[in-house]
């Protein structure tokens, strides 16, 4: 007695086994790419805010923290990240000249988020990015 076995469903079952890990990897790559892009944008914005605060204006006066905050928000928006002034910690002025030269630090706190929604439980909390520059340019 011989049985006829069909392998017609084997390919579909194998595809189902492989599809789940592949989709998981794809979603992870998408989320990692978005998180890394936000980090780069926030780092550039923080560095630009520190630069605004560190370099004196043409009349010799120091920039205000409002000018630095506005610059951070503008640079972040140009790169697709929306910030509020509450997320930015920026000093009022550069410290007085001393040895070693003082620095100004701009800190941005931004919530982590998942594009795909698959990793929301892993991405709870905030990311903190800082930009530091020596006062006086």
pLDDT tens-digit series, residues 46-82? 999 999 888 877 565 667 788 889 999 999 999 999 9
Q: Which two tokens stand for residue 61?
A: 């006066």
Give the whole-angstrom CA distance, residue 98 versus residue 32.
42
Mean pLDDT by 10 residues, the chain (137 residues): 68 89 92 91 93 76 80 93 91 71 88 82 85 82
pTM reported for the whole predicted model:
0.79
pLDDT value for 106: 92
Assign 5 to helix, strand or coil. Answer: coil
Handedness of CA 112, 113, 119, 124 (dihedral sign): positive
Of 45, 49, 48, 41, which Cα lies nearest the Cα of 66? 49
pLDDT value for 2: 55
Is residue 108 within 8 A of residue 88, CB to CB? The reply is yes
């Amino acid at each position: 007695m011989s049985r006829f076995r069909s392998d017609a469903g084997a390919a579909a079952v194998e595809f189902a086994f492989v599809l789940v890990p592949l989709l998981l990897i794809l979603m992870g790559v998408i989320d990692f790419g978005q998180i890394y892009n936000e980090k780069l944008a926030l780092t550039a914005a923080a560095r630009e805010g520190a630069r605004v605060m560190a370099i004196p204006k043409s009349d010799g006066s120091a920039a205000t923290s409002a000018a630095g905050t506005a610059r951070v928000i503008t640079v972040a928006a140009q790169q697709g990240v929306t910030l509020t002034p509450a997320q930015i910690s920026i000093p009022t002025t550069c410290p007085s000249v001393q040895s070693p030269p003082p620095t100004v630090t701009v800190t941005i706190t931004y919530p982590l988020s998942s594009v795909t929604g698959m990793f929301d439980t892993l991405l709870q909390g905030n990311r903190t990015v800082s930009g530091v520059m020596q006062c006086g340019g």
